[in-house]
A and B are shown apart, each in its own frame.
Chain A
Amino acid sequence: MLDLRLYMAQRLSALVMGPLVLGHIAVMIYAIQGGLSTAEILGRTQGSLLWFLFYGTFVVAVSVHAAIGLRVIAHEWLRLRGVALVALTWGIFGALLALGLSAVFAVTLP
């Protein structure tokens, strides 16, 4: 189900996400104390090019990574194959990318 190309996309996106996940967890540990509010989140992220790049990269990488991962699970556990499997992979990639980027835009656009 995974040829060399998909495998490399899977590992490359994972490699990109390694430091991003660590950063994300660090922010969560920092920000969770005393509860969260929309104003607090926006105060940190709104108008920040750095956070836009951080979470923009994260969303692109996770869309690739999750689409390929779910493709493998759909094949091995649900026996999905052929065109349906390709459609599922691209569908998950597109949906996650659209949803994720709209979230990134919502919290970082000035």
Chain B
Amino acid sequence: MTRSSEMLHVTVQRGTAQDPRKQRFDVPARENQTVLDVVSWIQQEVDPTLSYRFACRVGMCGSCAMMVNGVPRWTCRTHVSRVAESGQLDIAPLRNLPVIKDLATDMDPFFDKWVAAEGRHHPTRGRLEEFDPIKPDDPNRVEANLGIECINCGICYAACDTVAGNPDYLGPAALQRAWTLLNDSRDADRSGILAAVSGKGGCHNCHSMGSCAQYCPNGLNPMRAIAGLKRETVKAALRWKRDA
């Protein structure tokens, strides 16, 4: 049944960070409708200047995350019927990131922090050498497995109050990436990763409030990964003291 007579009352944040304003739209309600469908309908039917970001529409690319009624969500996989509060939708750009225009945020700080957390592979061997086999049931592999399905959508980063209060904090996604690499026997720079996550904005700023795990659309648990980093950095520091 299509309830074409019913309308959703949608407010969308427009403009840049210097000059944000709320704009109201009435959007026809459909039985099966995602938040991204609502944003696309506004852009196609009412205001073609509305800026927003999406690509795959099936929850793989991680580009369509927005704040929906104050909560960060992947809009392509979020059904309106599950999040609208009596027909009201409030859509805003991802929290904790600079706004470029309307619903599009500048993701640079997010990805810069991946690099700052040494969230890149440090090879142990060259391409002509045999590679190190990793068994699927190896405990480190099992631990890394818990974090590798991250799609870089930035939802955990937007959900985290520690990021909001401390702009230097590397954030859940970057730290979880560092944790997966720390558990990878093919990664050569263990001490480099531990040093990178131990600085002023490092893993020790996490307060384990768990908003990252609460809102991760893929059900990952960066809080658990960050706890692992805390444990390993402390172990390494104690070992270093003993050896010194």
Given a CB threshold of 8 Å, the question of whether A touches B is answered with yes
Binding site for B on A (CB under 8 A): 1-4, 6-8, 11, 72, 75-77
Pair A8/B234 contact, Cβ less than 8 Å: yes
- Tell me if B183 counts as interface (CB < 8 A to partner A): no
Pair B165/A7 contact, Cβ less than 8 Å: no
Q: Which of B33-41, B109-117, B200-208 contacts A (4 or more CB under 8 A)?
A: B200-208
Q: What would be 6 A-B contacts, judged by CB atoms less than 8 Å apart?
A: A2-B204, A3-B198, A4-B234, A7-B234, A72-B205, A76-B162
Return B116 CB to nearest CB of chain A, in Å: 14
Neighbour of B165 across the interface among A3, A8, A11, A75, CB < 8 A? A75
Neighbour of A76 across the interface among B166, B200, B233, CB < 8 A? B166
Q: Which residues of A contact B168 (CB under 8 A)?
A: 1
Binding site for A on B (CB under 8 A): 162, 165-166, 168, 198-200, 202, 204-205, 230, 233-234, 237
Return A88 CB to nearest CB of chain B, in Å: 15
Q: Which residues of A contact B200 (CB under 8 A)?
A: 1, 3
Return B131 CB to nearest CB of chain A, in Å: 33
Pair A4/B166 contact, Cβ less than 8 Å: no
Q: Which residues of B contact A8 (CB under 8 A)?
A: 234, 237
The total of interchain contacts (Cβ-Cβ below 8 angstroms) comes to 32
Return B23 CB to nearest CB of chain A, in Å: 30
Pair B204/A6 contact, Cβ less than 8 Å: yes
CB nearest neighbor in A for B201? A1
Return B205 CB to nearest CB of chain A, in Å: 5
Return B235 CB to nearest CB of chain A, in Å: 11
Q: How far is the CA of A75 from the CA of B205 in the complex (A)?
A: 11
Pair A77/B165 contact, Cβ less than 8 Å: yes
Q: How far is the CA of A61 from the CA of B43 in the complex (A)?
A: 58
Q: Which residues of B contact A4 (CB under 8 A)?
A: 198, 202, 204, 233-234, 237
Neighbour of B204 across the interface among A7, A75, A76, A77, CB < 8 A? A7
Return A20 CB to nearest CB of chain B, in Å: 22
Q: Which residues of B contact A6 (CB under 8 A)?
A: 204
9 closest cross-chain pairs (CB), A and B: A76-B165, A7-B204, A4-B198, A2-B204, A2-B205, A76-B166, A4-B233, A1-B166, A3-B200
Not counting A4-B204, A76-B165, a sample of 6 additional A-B residue pairs whose C-beta atoms are within 8 angstroms of each other reads A2-B205, A3-B198, A4-B202, A6-B204, A8-B237, A76-B162
Return B240 CB to nearest CB of chain A, in Å: 11
CB nearest neighbor in A for B205? A2
Pair B205/A1 contact, Cβ less than 8 Å: yes
Q: Which residues of B contact A75 (CB under 8 A)?
A: 165-166
Q: How far is the CA of A11 from the CA of B166 in the complex (A)?
A: 20
Q: How far is the CA of A53 from the CA of B230 in the complex (A)?
A: 31
Q: How far is the CA of A7 from the CA of B162 in the complex (A)?
A: 15
Q: Which residues of B contact A77 (CB under 8 A)?
A: 165
